[in-house]
Amino acid sequence: MNNPIVTRYKNNPILTKDDVPYTVATVHNAGVVKYKDKYIMLFRSHLHNGRSVIGIAESEDGYNFKVGAEPFLTPSSDTVFGEYEEYGVEDVRISQIDDDFLLTYSAYSRHGVRIGLAKTKDFKTVERISLITQSDLRNVVIFPEKINGLYVRLDRPHSEISKWSIWISYSPDLVHWGNSKLIIKPETYHWDEMKIGPGATPIKTENGWLNIYHGVFETMSGVVYRLGVALHDLEDPSKIIGVADEWILQPEDPWEITGYVTNVVFTCGAVAENDGSVKIYWGGADSVMCVGTANINDLVEMCLKNPRKPV
Ligand code: BMA
């Protein structure tokens, strides 16, 4: 019996480059959030110069998206941000705190990759706040509420002497971050043994913060990106209640196996629904956007019933 944890939407992929009214090579790795009863998707596209910009799409039902006429976020031309975004902006995560939608994105330049933080209230105008890391970091995701008076984020710094892992950091003001600590490491000879990184914005459940993350395994024909889940303590998210031993999603559909980069499912966003389900959005093979649904309780159970050690 093969009962999937994540049920793929029957009409995947839900967004491709053909849906975009400007010229792009890919559509992938989108942050998604609900705003005024609509689903807003901020997706990444490679331009034909190989660098990335962020487009915007909206939907009534979370499945059928219409793309905006212009990109939503392109490399800044101002001096502070411009220097660090010269090679493109990638992989946005969206966290709603009160009326603000905080956007964290990877900023690429000749100096490496670091994280930019911007905010919007209406998905029409966007204001950059700060570059919130040095290089090299990717995949920074801010929790959707302050915890014990502080903003909290999951980080993924690069290292030459340790496998790339998930860290946590705190900030009083969104600009200054510290008290960083490693909280989840890749597990040897396991589906996520090569490197891991935060994926979707964490989802609050009764049992803890649900973190849908990505993990990478190296094979003889290249690496495979899959998705897994971890549960963090509600009051102290640096405490890991459980990291599920098994992955929840792996590349299986043709557009996940073949594309710009083969064998990739990569998430930057998931939307929890009132009926206890979650829509998980992922990029397939760095080329298209896909969606599937899961039961939040099932994901939580995976973390509680059959965990592997976090570090
Ligand atoms: C990672 C990032 C992601 C990408 C993935 C697979 O390092 O660049 O944006 O989806 O590789 O290519």
Domains within the chain, CATH numbers bracketed: 7-308 (2.115.10.20)
CA 55 to ligand 1 centroid distance, Å: 17
From 31, 28, 37, select the one nearest 59 (Cα to Cα): 37
The amino acid sitting at 14 is I
* CB atoms inside a 10 Å sphere around CB 307: 16
How far does residue 50's CA lie from ligand 1's centre (Å)?
13
Question: How long is the chain?
Answer: 311
pLDDT for residue 89: 98
Query: From the CA of 11, how far away is ligand 1's center (Å)?
Result: 24
The tens digit of pLDDT for each residue in 9-64 reads: 999 999 999 999 999 999 999 999 999 999 999 999 999 999 999 999 999 999 99
pLDDT digits (tens, 9 = 90+) for 185-220: 999 999 999 999 999 999 999 999 999 999 999 999
Distance of CA 90 from the midpoint of ligand 1 (Å): 9
Structure tokens at 266: 């990569």
Which atom from ligand 1 is nearest to the alpha carbon of 266? 10
CB 266 within 8 A of CB 29: yes
**How far is the centre of ligand 1, averaged over its atoms, from the C-alpha of 162 (Å)?**
19
Is the CB of residue 32 less than 8 Å from the CB of residue 289? no
Dist. CA 176 → ligand 1 center (Å):
27
Segments in the chain below pLDDT 50 = none
Pocket residues: Cβ below 6 A from ligand 1: 29, 90-91, 225, 261, 264, 266, 283, 286
Question: Residue 1's pLDDT is what?
Answer: 57
- Cβ atoms of 28 and 19 within 8 Å: the answer is no
State which of 27, 28, 29 you would mutate to test the pocket of ligand 1, scoring each by most atoms of that ligand within 8 A of its C-beta. 29
Query: Which atom of ligand 1 approaches the CA of 264 most closely?
Result: 6
**Among 43, 54, 91, 139, residue to substitute to test ligand 1 (most atoms within 8 Å of Cβ):** 91
pLDDT computed for residue 3 by the predictor: 78
**Entry pTM:** 0.98
Ligand 1 midpoint to CA 98 (Å): 30
* Separation of CA 12 and ligand 1 centre (Å): 20
In angstroms, the CA 63 to CA 145 distance is 26
How far is 205 from 238, CA to CA, in rounded Å?
Answer: 16
Predicted pLDDT of residue 79: 84
Backbone angles phi, psi at 300, to 5 degrees: -60, -45
Task: Out of 286, 287, 288, give the residue to mutate to test ligand 1, the one with the largest number of ligand atoms within 8 Å of its CB.
Answer: 286
